[in-house]
Structure 1
Protein backbone atom coordinates (compact mmCIF):
# COMPACT_ATOMS: atom_id res chain seq x y z
CA UNK A 1 0.00 0.00 0.00
CA UNK A 2 1.70 3.17 -1.17
CA UNK A 3 2.33 6.04 1.24
CA UNK A 4 0.48 4.52 4.21
CA UNK A 5 -2.97 5.02 2.68
CA UNK A 6 -4.69 3.00 5.41
CA UNK A 7 -3.14 5.05 8.21
CA UNK A 8 -3.98 8.34 6.52
CA UNK A 9 -7.59 7.25 6.00
CA UNK A 10 -8.03 6.18 9.62
CA UNK A 11 -6.54 9.39 10.94
CA UNK A 12 -8.63 11.56 8.61
CA UNK A 13 -11.83 9.80 9.64
CA UNK A 14 -10.87 10.05 13.33
CA UNK A 15 -10.29 13.78 13.04
CA UNK A 16 -13.60 14.20 11.19
CA UNK A 17 -15.63 12.29 13.81
CA UNK A 18 -17.36 14.57 16.34
CA UNK A 19 -16.07 14.17 19.91
CA UNK A 20 -18.42 13.37 22.81
CA UNK A 21 -20.69 16.24 23.80
CA UNK A 22 -19.04 16.22 27.23
CA UNK A 23 -15.55 16.72 25.78
CA UNK A 24 -15.60 20.52 26.13
CA UNK A 25 -13.41 22.85 24.11
CA UNK A 26 -10.27 21.40 22.53
CA UNK A 27 -7.49 22.61 20.25
CA UNK A 28 -7.87 19.89 17.61
CA UNK A 29 -11.05 18.67 15.92
CA UNK A 30 -12.50 15.19 16.06
CA UNK A 31 -11.67 12.30 18.34
CA UNK A 32 -8.42 11.90 20.18
CA UNK A 33 -6.59 8.59 19.69
CA UNK A 34 -7.51 7.49 23.17
CA UNK A 35 -11.20 8.15 22.57
CA UNK A 36 -11.24 6.15 19.34
CA UNK A 37 -9.20 3.36 20.90
CA UNK A 38 -11.72 3.12 23.76
CA UNK A 39 -14.65 3.00 21.35
CA UNK A 40 -13.00 0.28 19.26
CA UNK A 41 -11.72 -1.74 22.21
CA UNK A 42 -8.06 -1.58 21.16
CA UNK A 43 -4.99 -0.01 22.73
CA UNK A 44 -3.83 3.51 21.95
CA UNK A 45 -0.41 2.07 21.08
CA UNK A 46 -1.92 -0.25 18.47
CA UNK A 47 -4.03 2.52 16.94
CA UNK A 48 -0.91 4.68 16.76
CA UNK A 49 0.94 1.93 14.87
CA UNK A 50 -1.95 1.63 12.41
CA UNK A 51 -2.09 5.37 11.76
CA UNK A 52 1.70 5.61 11.35
CA UNK A 53 1.84 2.60 9.05
CA UNK A 54 4.16 0.50 11.20
CA UNK A 55 1.40 -2.13 11.39
CA UNK A 56 -0.47 -2.68 8.13
CA UNK A 57 -2.13 -6.02 8.78
CA UNK A 58 -5.00 -5.49 11.22
CA UNK A 59 -7.38 -8.39 11.75
CA UNK A 60 -10.91 -8.36 10.43
CA UNK A 61 -12.19 -7.99 14.01
CA UNK A 62 -10.11 -4.85 14.53
CA UNK A 63 -11.22 -3.34 11.23
CA UNK A 64 -14.89 -3.96 12.00
CA UNK A 65 -14.46 -2.42 15.44
CA UNK A 66 -12.80 0.68 13.96
CA UNK A 67 -15.45 0.96 11.23
CA UNK A 68 -18.20 0.80 13.86
CA UNK A 69 -16.43 3.25 16.17
CA UNK A 70 -16.00 5.74 13.31
CA UNK A 71 -19.59 5.16 12.09
CA UNK A 72 -18.31 4.54 8.57
CA UNK A 73 -20.86 4.54 5.77
CA UNK A 74 -21.25 1.42 3.57
CA UNK A 75 -19.12 3.08 0.85
CA UNK A 76 -16.43 3.98 3.38
CA UNK A 77 -16.37 0.38 4.65
CA UNK A 78 -15.85 -0.83 1.09
CA UNK A 79 -13.03 1.70 0.67
CA UNK A 80 -11.43 0.51 3.91
CA UNK A 81 -11.55 -3.08 2.67
CA UNK A 82 -9.99 -2.05 -0.65
CA UNK A 83 -7.16 -0.30 1.16
CA UNK A 84 -6.33 -3.56 2.95
CA UNK A 85 -6.69 -5.60 -0.24
CA UNK A 86 -4.36 -3.24 -2.13
CA UNK A 87 -1.60 -4.10 0.33
CA UNK A 88 -1.78 -7.82 -0.44
CA UNK A 89 1.05 -8.61 -2.82
CA UNK A 90 0.38 -12.34 -3.27
CA UNK A 91 -2.17 -13.09 -5.97
CA UNK A 92 -4.45 -16.06 -5.26
CA UNK A 93 -3.88 -19.13 -7.43
CA UNK A 94 -5.95 -19.30 -10.60
CA UNK A 95 -9.01 -21.55 -10.22
CA UNK A 96 -9.04 -24.76 -12.28
CA UNK A 97 -10.95 -24.30 -15.55
CA UNK A 98 -14.31 -25.95 -16.01
CA UNK A 99 -14.21 -29.13 -18.04
CA UNK A 100 -15.73 -28.86 -21.55
CA UNK A 101 -18.21 -31.56 -20.60
CA UNK A 102 -19.49 -29.43 -17.71
CA UNK A 103 -19.99 -26.48 -20.06
CA UNK A 104 -21.75 -28.78 -22.54
CA UNK A 105 -24.05 -29.98 -19.76
CA UNK A 106 -24.97 -26.39 -18.90
CA UNK A 107 -25.69 -25.63 -22.55
CA UNK A 108 -27.96 -28.68 -22.74
CA UNK A 109 -29.91 -27.49 -19.68
CA UNK A 110 -31.02 -24.21 -21.29
CA UNK A 111 -33.71 -22.86 -20.88
CA UNK A 112 -33.51 -24.18 -17.32
CA UNK A 113 -31.87 -21.77 -14.84
CA UNK A 114 -28.65 -23.42 -13.71
CA UNK A 115 -25.18 -22.40 -12.57
CA UNK A 116 -21.86 -23.86 -11.50
CA UNK A 117 -20.49 -22.45 -8.24
CA UNK A 118 -17.17 -22.81 -6.47
CA UNK A 119 -17.05 -23.19 -2.66
CA UNK A 120 -16.87 -19.41 -2.18
CA UNK A 121 -20.07 -18.90 -4.18
CA UNK A 122 -18.53 -17.50 -7.37
CA UNK A 123 -20.64 -18.14 -10.47
CA UNK A 124 -18.15 -19.88 -12.76
CA UNK A 125 -20.68 -20.44 -15.55
CA UNK A 126 -24.43 -20.29 -15.92
CA UNK A 127 -27.27 -20.59 -18.39
CA UNK A 128 -28.81 -17.42 -19.83
CA UNK A 129 -32.02 -18.30 -17.99
CA UNK A 130 -30.19 -18.21 -14.65
CA UNK A 131 -28.63 -14.86 -15.43
CA UNK A 132 -32.04 -13.47 -16.43
CA UNK A 133 -33.73 -14.21 -13.10
CA UNK A 134 -30.86 -14.26 -10.60
CA UNK A 135 -30.71 -10.50 -10.07
CA UNK A 136 -26.91 -10.64 -10.06
CA UNK A 137 -26.35 -8.23 -12.99
CA UNK A 138 -22.59 -7.49 -12.83
CA UNK A 139 -22.11 -9.37 -9.55
CA UNK A 140 -20.42 -12.76 -9.87
CA UNK A 141 -20.87 -14.13 -6.35
CA UNK A 142 -24.15 -15.34 -4.86
CA UNK A 143 -23.03 -14.80 -1.24
CA UNK A 144 -21.91 -11.22 -1.83
CA UNK A 145 -25.19 -10.52 -3.65
CA UNK A 146 -27.21 -11.96 -0.75
CA UNK A 147 -25.72 -9.29 1.52
CA UNK A 148 -25.94 -6.43 -0.98
CA UNK A 149 -28.47 -3.57 -0.72
CA UNK A 150 -30.49 -5.11 -3.58
CA UNK A 151 -30.93 -8.53 -2.01
CA UNK A 152 -33.92 -7.96 0.28
CA UNK A 153 -36.01 -6.68 -2.62
CA UNK A 154 -35.03 -9.66 -4.76
CA UNK A 155 -35.51 -12.34 -2.10
CA UNK A 156 -38.91 -12.21 -0.31
CA UNK A 157 -37.52 -14.80 2.13
CA UNK A 158 -34.25 -12.94 2.57
CA UNK A 159 -33.58 -14.11 6.14
CA UNK A 160 -33.62 -17.78 5.17
CA UNK A 161 -31.44 -17.24 2.11
CA UNK A 162 -28.99 -15.06 4.04
CA UNK A 163 -28.59 -17.76 6.70
CA UNK A 164 -28.01 -20.45 4.05
CA UNK A 165 -25.51 -18.38 2.04
CA UNK A 166 -23.55 -17.49 5.17
CA UNK A 167 -23.55 -21.14 6.28
CA UNK A 168 -22.24 -22.27 2.89
CA UNK A 169 -19.42 -19.75 3.07
CA UNK A 170 -18.60 -20.72 6.65
CA UNK A 171 -18.44 -24.41 5.72
CA UNK A 172 -16.07 -23.67 2.84
CA UNK A 173 -13.84 -21.41 4.95
CA UNK A 174 -13.69 -23.97 7.76
CA UNK A 175 -12.47 -26.55 5.22
CA UNK A 176 -9.58 -24.28 4.26
CA UNK A 177 -10.90 -22.60 1.12
CA UNK A 178 -8.87 -19.36 0.91
CA UNK A 179 -11.32 -17.56 -1.39
CA UNK A 180 -14.17 -18.28 1.03
CA UNK A 181 -12.15 -17.00 3.99
CA UNK A 182 -11.20 -13.85 2.07
CA UNK A 183 -14.84 -13.20 1.15
CA UNK A 184 -15.91 -13.72 4.78
CA UNK A 185 -13.31 -11.12 5.82
CA UNK A 186 -14.62 -8.72 3.16
CA UNK A 187 -18.29 -9.13 4.08
CA UNK A 188 -17.63 -8.85 7.82
CA UNK A 189 -16.40 -5.35 7.05
CA UNK A 190 -18.63 -4.23 4.17
CA UNK A 191 -21.91 -5.86 5.29
CA UNK A 192 -21.24 -5.70 9.02
CA UNK A 193 -23.49 -7.45 11.52
CA UNK A 194 -26.01 -8.50 8.85
CA UNK A 195 -23.38 -10.93 7.65
CA UNK A 196 -21.24 -11.52 10.73
CA UNK A 197 -24.13 -12.47 13.01
CA UNK A 198 -25.22 -15.22 10.61
CA UNK A 199 -21.70 -16.36 9.69
CA UNK A 200 -20.50 -16.57 13.29
CA UNK A 201 -23.53 -18.58 14.43
CA UNK A 202 -23.72 -20.95 11.44
CA UNK A 203 -24.35 -24.33 13.01
CA UNK A 204 -25.48 -26.49 10.09
CA UNK A 205 -24.64 -27.11 6.47
CA UNK A 206 -26.88 -25.34 3.94
CA UNK A 207 -29.53 -27.48 2.24
CA UNK A 208 -28.65 -29.13 -1.07
CA UNK A 209 -32.31 -29.19 -2.09
CA UNK A 210 -35.22 -26.93 -1.29
CA UNK A 211 -37.37 -24.05 -2.47
CA UNK A 212 -36.46 -20.36 -2.82
CA UNK A 213 -38.45 -17.33 -3.93
CA UNK A 214 -36.77 -14.86 -6.25
CA UNK A 215 -38.61 -11.71 -7.39
CA UNK A 216 -41.84 -13.35 -8.45
CA UNK A 217 -40.41 -16.83 -9.10
CA UNK A 218 -40.93 -19.84 -6.83
CA UNK A 219 -38.05 -22.19 -7.57
CA UNK A 220 -37.22 -25.69 -6.42
CA UNK A 221 -33.49 -26.36 -6.55
CA UNK A 222 -31.23 -29.40 -6.68
CA UNK A 223 -27.49 -29.37 -6.02
CA UNK A 224 -25.07 -31.82 -7.62
CA UNK A 225 -21.43 -31.90 -6.53
CA UNK A 226 -19.10 -32.34 -9.48
CA UNK A 227 -16.07 -34.66 -9.29
CA UNK A 228 -12.57 -33.32 -9.81
CA UNK A 229 -10.56 -30.37 -8.54
CA UNK A 230 -12.20 -27.23 -7.25
CA UNK A 231 -15.14 -28.82 -5.41
CA UNK A 232 -17.57 -27.21 -7.84
CA UNK A 233 -21.31 -27.70 -7.55
CA UNK A 234 -24.06 -27.52 -10.16
CA UNK A 235 -27.28 -25.93 -8.93
CA UNK A 236 -30.37 -26.32 -11.10
CA UNK A 237 -33.65 -24.44 -10.54
CA UNK A 238 -37.13 -25.51 -11.60
CA UNK A 239 -40.32 -23.45 -11.51
CA UNK A 240 -42.62 -24.71 -8.78
CA UNK A 241 -46.31 -24.38 -9.62
Structure 2
Protein backbone atom coordinates (compact mmCIF):
# COMPACT_ATOMS: atom_id res chain seq x y z
CA UNK A 1 0.00 0.00 0.00
CA UNK A 2 1.30 3.44 -0.88
CA UNK A 3 2.37 5.45 2.16
CA UNK A 4 0.56 8.67 2.93
CA UNK A 5 2.67 11.69 2.05
CA UNK A 6 3.67 13.98 4.99
CA UNK A 7 2.43 17.06 3.13
CA UNK A 8 -1.01 15.48 2.75
CA UNK A 9 -1.09 14.52 6.43
CA UNK A 10 -0.19 18.04 7.50
CA UNK A 11 -2.87 19.45 5.19
CA UNK A 12 -5.51 17.24 6.80
CA UNK A 13 -4.40 18.23 10.30
CA UNK A 14 -4.41 21.93 9.48
CA UNK A 15 -7.82 21.63 7.82
CA UNK A 16 -9.19 20.01 10.98
CA UNK A 17 -7.83 22.86 13.10
CA UNK A 18 -9.36 25.49 10.84
CA UNK A 19 -12.69 23.65 10.80
CA UNK A 20 -12.78 23.64 14.59
CA UNK A 21 -12.13 27.38 14.61
CA UNK A 22 -15.49 27.87 12.90
CA UNK A 23 -16.98 31.22 12.10
CA UNK A 24 -16.21 34.08 14.45
CA UNK A 25 -18.85 36.47 15.69
CA UNK A 26 -19.02 40.07 14.53
CA UNK A 27 -15.77 41.79 15.41
CA UNK A 28 -14.46 45.29 15.08
CA UNK A 29 -12.78 46.46 11.89
CA UNK A 30 -9.11 45.58 11.87
CA UNK A 31 -9.46 42.65 14.26
CA UNK A 32 -8.31 40.18 11.62
CA UNK A 33 -5.04 42.08 11.32
CA UNK A 34 -4.11 41.88 14.99
CA UNK A 35 -1.30 39.42 14.31
CA UNK A 36 2.05 40.56 15.61
CA UNK A 37 3.94 38.92 12.75
CA UNK A 38 5.17 36.11 15.03
CA UNK A 39 8.51 37.72 15.77
CA UNK A 40 11.57 38.67 13.80
CA UNK A 41 12.59 37.39 10.38
CA UNK A 42 14.83 34.60 11.68
CA UNK A 43 12.15 33.15 13.96
CA UNK A 44 9.52 33.62 11.26
CA UNK A 45 11.61 31.62 8.76
CA UNK A 46 12.21 28.87 11.30
CA UNK A 47 8.49 28.57 12.05
CA UNK A 48 7.65 28.51 8.35
CA UNK A 49 10.18 25.74 7.64
CA UNK A 50 8.84 23.55 10.45
CA UNK A 51 5.18 24.24 9.70
CA UNK A 52 4.78 25.61 13.23
CA UNK A 53 3.77 29.06 11.99
CA UNK A 54 0.73 27.65 10.18
CA UNK A 55 -0.26 25.85 13.35
CA UNK A 56 0.19 29.02 15.39
CA UNK A 57 -2.03 30.94 12.98
CA UNK A 58 -4.80 28.31 13.02
CA UNK A 59 -4.75 28.08 16.82
CA UNK A 60 -4.73 31.88 17.12
CA UNK A 61 -7.92 31.97 15.05
CA UNK A 62 -9.47 29.26 17.20
CA UNK A 63 -8.45 31.08 20.38
CA UNK A 64 -10.03 34.33 19.14
CA UNK A 65 -13.19 32.44 18.11
CA UNK A 66 -13.57 30.64 21.46
CA UNK A 67 -12.67 33.48 23.83
CA UNK A 68 -12.16 37.21 23.53
CA UNK A 69 -8.46 37.72 22.86
CA UNK A 70 -8.49 41.48 23.54
CA UNK A 71 -8.84 43.48 26.75
CA UNK A 72 -9.16 47.26 26.95
CA UNK A 73 -7.82 49.87 29.35
CA UNK A 74 -8.72 53.26 30.74
CA UNK A 75 -6.89 56.31 29.43
CA UNK A 76 -3.23 56.42 30.47
CA UNK A 77 -3.65 53.29 32.60
CA UNK A 78 -2.33 49.73 32.73
CA UNK A 79 -4.81 48.64 35.42
CA UNK A 80 -7.11 45.70 34.70
CA UNK A 81 -10.74 46.48 35.50
CA UNK A 82 -13.35 43.85 36.35
CA UNK A 83 -14.34 43.22 32.73
CA UNK A 84 -10.72 42.76 31.67
CA UNK A 85 -10.14 40.31 34.52
CA UNK A 86 -13.20 38.26 33.52
CA UNK A 87 -11.91 38.03 29.95
CA UNK A 88 -8.45 37.02 31.12
CA UNK A 89 -9.89 34.28 33.36
CA UNK A 90 -11.60 32.83 30.29
CA UNK A 91 -8.34 33.13 28.37
CA UNK A 92 -6.53 31.29 31.15
CA UNK A 93 -9.11 28.47 31.12
CA UNK A 94 -8.58 28.04 27.36
CA UNK A 95 -4.80 28.18 27.66
CA UNK A 96 -4.81 25.45 30.32
CA UNK A 97 -6.42 23.06 27.82
CA UNK A 98 -3.41 23.32 25.49
CA UNK A 99 -0.25 22.79 27.59
CA UNK A 100 1.89 22.34 24.45
CA UNK A 101 1.17 25.86 23.20
CA UNK A 102 3.08 29.10 23.85
CA UNK A 103 1.45 32.53 23.91
CA UNK A 104 2.49 36.13 23.46
CA UNK A 105 0.80 39.32 24.65
CA UNK A 106 0.92 42.48 22.53
CA UNK A 107 0.31 45.89 24.10
CA UNK A 108 -1.25 48.85 22.25
CA UNK A 109 -2.22 52.43 23.01
CA UNK A 110 -4.28 55.15 21.39
CA UNK A 111 -2.65 57.99 19.45
CA UNK A 112 -2.48 60.50 22.30
CA UNK A 113 1.07 61.23 23.50
CA UNK A 114 4.61 60.62 22.28
CA UNK A 115 5.91 57.47 20.62
CA UNK A 116 8.29 56.69 23.49
CA UNK A 117 5.68 57.18 26.20
CA UNK A 118 3.11 55.02 24.40
CA UNK A 119 5.61 52.25 23.76
CA UNK A 120 6.35 52.10 27.49
CA UNK A 121 2.64 52.24 28.33
CA UNK A 122 1.84 49.43 25.90
CA UNK A 123 4.55 47.31 27.52
CA UNK A 124 3.12 47.93 31.01
CA UNK A 125 -0.28 46.82 29.77
CA UNK A 126 1.14 43.63 28.28
CA UNK A 127 3.06 42.95 31.50
CA UNK A 128 -0.13 43.43 33.54
CA UNK A 129 -1.90 40.80 31.43
CA UNK A 130 0.99 38.35 31.72
CA UNK A 131 1.09 38.84 35.50
CA UNK A 132 -2.65 38.16 35.74
CA UNK A 133 -2.48 35.03 33.57
CA UNK A 134 0.45 33.77 35.62
CA UNK A 135 -1.60 34.28 38.80
CA UNK A 136 -4.28 32.07 37.22
CA UNK A 137 -1.81 29.18 37.05
CA UNK A 138 -0.31 29.65 33.58
CA UNK A 139 3.42 28.94 33.54
CA UNK A 140 5.49 32.02 32.82
CA UNK A 141 7.57 29.86 30.47
CA UNK A 142 4.54 29.57 28.18
CA UNK A 143 4.09 33.35 28.03
CA UNK A 144 7.36 33.71 26.20
CA UNK A 145 7.43 37.46 25.64
CA UNK A 146 5.50 40.68 25.91
CA UNK A 147 5.63 43.14 23.05
CA UNK A 148 4.54 46.77 22.80
CA UNK A 149 3.45 48.35 19.54
CA UNK A 150 2.62 51.59 21.31
CA UNK A 151 0.43 53.69 19.06
CA UNK A 152 1.66 52.23 15.75
CA UNK A 153 -1.28 49.84 15.15
CA UNK A 154 -4.55 51.63 15.97
CA UNK A 155 -7.84 49.94 15.17
CA UNK A 156 -9.51 53.34 14.89
CA UNK A 157 -7.39 56.11 13.43
CA UNK A 158 -8.21 59.17 15.50
CA UNK A 159 -6.04 61.61 17.41
CA UNK A 160 -8.62 61.68 20.21
CA UNK A 161 -8.54 59.20 23.12
CA UNK A 162 -10.05 55.91 21.97
CA UNK A 163 -10.77 52.86 24.12
CA UNK A 164 -10.62 50.37 21.23
CA UNK A 165 -7.01 51.35 20.61
CA UNK A 166 -6.06 51.04 24.30
CA UNK A 167 -5.79 47.27 24.36
CA UNK A 168 -3.73 44.12 24.67
CA UNK A 169 -4.05 41.13 22.35
CA UNK A 170 -3.18 37.57 23.41
CA UNK A 171 -2.05 35.28 20.59
CA UNK A 172 -0.62 31.82 20.04
CA UNK A 173 3.06 32.13 19.15
CA UNK A 174 4.14 28.50 18.74
CA UNK A 175 4.63 25.17 20.46
CA UNK A 176 6.71 24.34 23.50
CA UNK A 177 10.13 22.85 22.77
CA UNK A 178 9.19 19.57 24.46
CA UNK A 179 6.16 19.09 22.20
CA UNK A 180 6.13 16.03 19.94
CA UNK A 181 6.90 16.24 16.25
CA UNK A 182 4.06 17.81 14.32
CA UNK A 183 3.54 14.96 11.87
CA UNK A 184 3.63 11.97 14.22
CA UNK A 185 -0.10 11.99 14.92
CA UNK A 186 0.10 13.77 18.29
CA UNK A 187 -0.94 17.22 17.07
CA UNK A 188 -4.38 15.94 16.11
CA UNK A 189 -4.71 14.72 19.70
CA UNK A 190 -4.03 18.26 20.94
CA UNK A 191 -6.59 19.78 18.56
CA UNK A 192 -9.37 17.33 19.41
CA UNK A 193 -8.75 17.30 23.17
CA UNK A 194 -11.25 20.08 23.76
CA UNK A 195 -13.88 18.28 21.67
CA UNK A 196 -13.46 15.06 23.63
CA UNK A 197 -13.38 16.76 27.04
CA UNK A 198 -16.47 18.77 26.16
CA UNK A 199 -18.61 15.71 25.46
CA UNK A 200 -21.73 15.46 27.61
CA UNK A 201 -21.42 12.82 30.33
CA UNK A 202 -24.49 10.67 31.00
CA UNK A 203 -25.45 10.78 34.71
CA UNK A 204 -24.74 7.56 36.62
CA UNK A 205 -28.40 7.01 37.58
CA UNK A 206 -29.45 7.33 33.94
CA UNK A 207 -26.86 4.73 32.90
CA UNK A 208 -28.16 2.38 35.62
CA UNK A 209 -31.75 2.85 34.42
CA UNK A 210 -30.72 2.15 30.84
CA UNK A 211 -28.88 -1.01 31.89
CA UNK A 212 -31.88 -2.22 33.89
CA UNK A 213 -34.18 -1.60 30.96
CA UNK A 214 -31.81 -3.47 28.68
CA UNK A 215 -31.73 -6.52 30.98
CA UNK A 216 -35.50 -6.63 31.15
CA UNK A 217 -35.90 -6.45 27.41
CA UNK A 218 -33.31 -9.14 26.75
CA UNK A 219 -35.08 -11.50 29.19
CA UNK A 220 -38.51 -11.11 27.56
CA UNK A 221 -37.57 -11.54 23.93
CA UNK A 222 -36.69 -14.56 21.78
- TM-score interval, smaller chain: under 0.3
Q: Which has the higher contact order (CA 8 A, sep 6+)?
A: 2
Q: Give the TM-score, by structure 2 length.
A: 0.23
**Which is greater in Rg?**
2
